[in-house]
Structure 1
Amino acid sequence: MAVSALARRLGVAPSTLRTWDRRYGIGPSAHAHGSHRRYTPRDVARLECMQQALDEGASPAEAARYAINAIATYSSNSEQTSSPQILGDNSVNEGKTNSSHFSAAISVLEDAEPAVRNLSRALIARDIVTIHRIVSRAAAERGLPAVWEAVLVPVLDWANEGRNSDAAAVNCRAFVECMTGILSTMTLDAPIAVGGRVLLVDVPTTLDFRRPSIAHDLGFRALGAALATASVDVRTSRPVGRTALLASVTNAEPDVIMLWLPPGDCDVASLSRAIRRRRSGLALLAAGPGAAATHLPRSVKSVGNLGDAVDAVTALI
């Protein structure tokens, strides 16, 4: 990948990438005779890792050091799949996991489709380059909503098995980190939006403002990315309460609002009335883990999976 293309992907200036290369040694590694140096998939993954660390408040030097160490460890693990290692919070090996444990874990997926098995193996190896490649290729061929239901949800369920174990916790954390980066990249690389504006709202439960689950969180991100890749002008909001939620409605001025409902007690009827007082004439849809179980007023249409949600939105705008 050329420096200009990567700069657009990361949202930085090409001069910034050259500065990172000069100061921290985190630059392109491929070079063809008579042409400029180019970024390999491994280089891109390393810079995406650095960008994520910067977004979380690290200094450029700290972010570069973290990215270099993380990708080096991931690559080392991907070459040693017979004895994979678990990464700690600082991307330092904290110990080895018995290979028979992982063999047993993979055997559970014997009947799954190849993409599920391959993605699970890449997750065990912490091979983020392969994870990016598998997900991106599948999404390009089948569409993100279909890949979410057929590939990503089964892998997430598998990674979350035995959630009290250290191995499951590491698998889940690695999967969430990888998928968050992939979905963010898909959103940023989406085509120019057309039509009306959609506000995707992660609705907090009435009694507890904590986010309910990893699946809920990633599903919200996946729907946002799926709408963006369908050329929808989508804005997202993750308010901690009703006042912040209504403020986001006023600020975004949407034509359609998609409420992403968690399992639990959500007073959607009262919320929909408050939203319509803020902005009349808009369409209200509901999706997410709690959409089927929550009693919805007639003015709010429930949609099923991610594909149904995207179809419902595009039909309205």
Structure 2
Amino acid sequence: MAQRGDAGGPHTAGQVARSLGVAETTLRSWHRRYGVPPHADRPGGYRRYTREDIVRLERMRDLIRSGVLASDAARIAAVQPAEPGLGAARDRLLEASRSLDSRTCQAVLTEAVGTYGIVPVWDTVCRPALVEVEHEQRADPAPATCVPREHVLSWAIAAALHHVPPAVPEEARPTVLLACVEDEQHTLPLEALAAALTERHVPVRMLGAGLPTAGLVAAARTLSPAAVVLWAHRPDTAQVDALRRLRRLPPRVLTAGPGWSARRRASAGYLPTLDAALAELA
């Protein structure tokens, strides 16, 4: 993470690259391809980054690490800059997770969701926190010490997402059906989508992790939704058979998650981000 102490800047490309954990060539590539900051060179021909520039770059880096395409990450970081309050919430969340304080983690997230809504909290607080813990696990010589922290974060995020009250009658027919493919256990991104759809009064049913294909097809027939979203976090869990069988039914089939190949994303319709999913489904 970038250093918080020198809030004003300006910062050199080398300083920013080191604080973000990326190469200077990566910063130049992002600037050239996607127009990310800084937009103007300082006298002498050297680029200098403000604190606002660094916040945007942190957001783009975190989105890319969590599986978002660089082009999409640049667009999201540009139109949804992180609120200072959300940055503070992320810091409080990470601090509480280090002491395995699940109650405080949930309280921080519930308060943030009530203030800012699901999408900003998911993109700016939850995902970056999970990414940071994941990178700590990779760097730790004894990664098992980080596992309880990851579980605390996951539990608190799920609890906060479930706290969003339904805005549609329980008996309303679901227009969106959400499910993980068989053998897939990563549910948090789908739970964020379910909460965001609920926030927007869209009837949704969440079927959760590891749903066998036969059960998924049966649920789609029973519920008759307008769309089915299939999440795959890893390539080895992306079930092509599930796509084939669902395509025989009336609901529109959409894929989500980094596990789907580029070919499958193109063939079934792909939701690269939470924003994109809401634009398509809400």
Q: TM-score, normalising length from structure 1?
A: 0.53
The 5-angstrom pairing of residues 109-258 of structure 1 reads: 113-160=87-134, 161-162=136-137, 164-186=142-164, 189-192=165-168, 197-204=175-182, 209=183, 211=185, 216-237=186-207, 238-258=209-229
Q: Is the 8 A contact 1:128 1:178 kept in 2?
A: yes
Q: Is the 8 A contact 1:220 1:288 kept in 2?
A: no
Structure 1 pair 240–271 and aligned structure 2 pair: CA distance change class (3 A): closer
Corresponding letter in the other structure for 2:269: K
Structure 1 pair 156–288 and aligned structure 2 pair: CA distance change class (3 A): same
Residue-pair matches, total: 189
Shift of 1:146: 2.3
Shift of 1:128: 3.7
Distance 1:267 1:127 in 2: 36
| Secondary structure of residue in 2 paired with 1:258 | strand
Distance 1:166 1:301 in 2: 37
Shift of 1:139: 2.1
Q: Is the 8 A contact 1:201 1:259 kept in 2?
A: yes
Q: Is the 8 A contact 1:115 1:134 kept in 2?
A: yes
Distance 1:127 1:119 in 2: 9
Superposed structure 1 runs of 4+ greater than 6 Å apart: none
Shift of 1:264: 1.0
Distance 2:101 2:218 in 1: 41
Structure 1 pair 267–131 and aligned structure 2 pair: CA distance change class (3 A): closer
Structure 1 pair 245–302 and aligned structure 2 pair: CA distance change class (3 A): same
Corresponding letter in the other structure for 1:221: E
| Secondary structure of residue in 1 paired with 2:115 | helix
2:29 aligns with none
| Secondary structure of residue in 1 paired with 2:177 | strand
Distance 2:120 2:160 in 1: 16
Q: Is the 8 A contact 2:184 2:233 kept in 1?
A: no
Distance 1:203 1:179 in 2: 21
Matching of residue 288 in structure 1 with residue 257 in structure 2:
yes
| Secondary structure of residue in 2 paired with 1:296 | helix
Deviations 1:125-182 (A, max 9, x none): 3444432332123223332122212111111122232264343112112112222222
| Secondary structure of residue in 1 paired with 2:107 | helix
Distance 1:264 1:232 in 2: 29
Structure 2 unaligned regions, length at least 5:
1-85
Distance 1:191 1:116 in 2: 27
Distance 2:92 2:210 in 1: 36
Higher strand share: 1
Matching of residue 261 in structure 1 with residue 232 in structure 2:
yes
Structure 1 unaligned regions, length at least 5:
1-111
2:44 aligns with none
Distance 1:239 1:249 in 2: 16
Shift of 1:195: 8.2
Q: Which has the larger radius of gyration?
A: 1
Distance 1:289 1:225 in 2: 20
Identity %: 25
Distance 1:311 1:168 in 2: 35
Distance 2:233 2:128 in 1: 19
CA root-mean-square deviation: 2.6
Q: TM-score, normalising length from structure 2?
A: 0.59
Corresponding letter in the other structure for 2:198: A
